Amino acid sequence: MKAVFVTYNQAYNEEIVELLDKHAQRGFTRWTDVQGRGGVNGTPHMGNHAWPEMNHALLTMVDDAMAATLLSELKAMDEASPDLGLRAFTWDISGMI
């Protein structure tokens, strides 16, 4: 079991949920209006007059194979529109209720 954490430009919001729906991944938690800045060359998303865009973040728990599938498809989305900003990370889940 893996936790998949995705941070992304708010413009991706519907696409991210549609990606989960496509793979019958129902459960997730989403945070909206998340501020951030990419670590290498990302544009700040601060929700202010200088940097008006915002990020969203999403966390979902999936089996290992689904995590690999989601990462692959998220990477393709990011490569298609690199200026928007999208990052995804996974963690091993050792237990849950």
Question: Using one digit for the tens of pLDDT, what is the confidence trace for 22-40?
Answer: 999 999 999 999 998 877 7
Q: How many domains does the chain have?
A: 1
Is 72 contained in some domain? yes
Is 97 contained in some domain? no
Enclosing domain of residue 71: 2-92
**CATH number of the CATH domain containing 40:** 3.30.70.120
Could you count the other beta carbons within 10 Å of the beta carbon of residue 66? 18
Number of H helices and E strands in the chain, helices first, is 2, 4
User: What is the rounded CA–CA span in Å between residue 93 and residue 73?
Assistant: 21
User: What is the rounded CA–CA span in Å between residue 4 and residue 59?
Assistant: 6
Mean pLDDT of the residues in the chain: 92
Could you count the other beta carbons within 10 Å of the beta carbon of residue 50? 6
Predicted model pTM = 0.90
DSSP classification of residue 96: -
